[in-house]
Structure 1
Amino acid sequence: MIIYKQFTFDAAHYLPNVSESHKCRKIHGHTYHLTLFFEGEIALDKGWIIDFSEIKNIVNPVLDLIDHQFLNEVEGLENPTCELMAVWLWDKIKPQITQLKRVELKETPTSGAIYEGISI
């Protein structure tokens, strides 16, 4: 079975590796929408894969590192593209919740990244 938990956070950034004329070269912000997917067997004694409260208690401190922050100043996010942020989130959460299967991060309602793999 696969379950999911959704979160939102706000942050500002710029993309340092694009041309000077690219609009994302300037500081701007997003309200990010994060969906985390978890896969596992249902524990018959509890009736769930993992407690949603446990997920929240682990993920919220990670999001506190980036919520309302300037992402370019966050260690490991010097080039905070949506793709690299999804990997960064995976790297922070997967060691604590082994059932993590997928990170889906949207920086706009129509643009985002999905990561399901080994850290780069």
Structure 2
Amino acid sequence: MSALPPPPYYAVIFTSQRTAVDSGYADTADRMVALAAAQPGYLGADSARDADGLGITVSYWRSEEDIAAWRRHAEHRVARDTGRSDWYQHYTLRVARVERAYAWQRADGLQDPAALTSNEERA
């Protein structure tokens, strides 16, 4: 999991279904991760893909302007075009503003990480 700053920030959620075509997919995916990490406003990413080729990658960004700049990046555009022509059956992209975030790990015990120390209610 990515270590992220306190909200608010943005999440770009990319859900895709791969084709059987590989033709450089893994190398390009690795390059896009490294390239995105070098972009202004990039905060991190989490990614998973199952054995049937369904994948979800969530990248985190400081602002919508940073997301738009990444979308315009020339190498990213080429990878996107190749994805449409070769690597993906379909994909969905969603952009969301993260208003609240918390984490839990086993070492924390059983306490709910979203529990407040005051009487406030969580939405």
Normalised by the length of structure 1, the TM-score is 0.34
Q: Which has the larger radius of gyration?
A: 2
Normalised by the length of structure 2, the TM-score is 0.34
More helix by share: 2
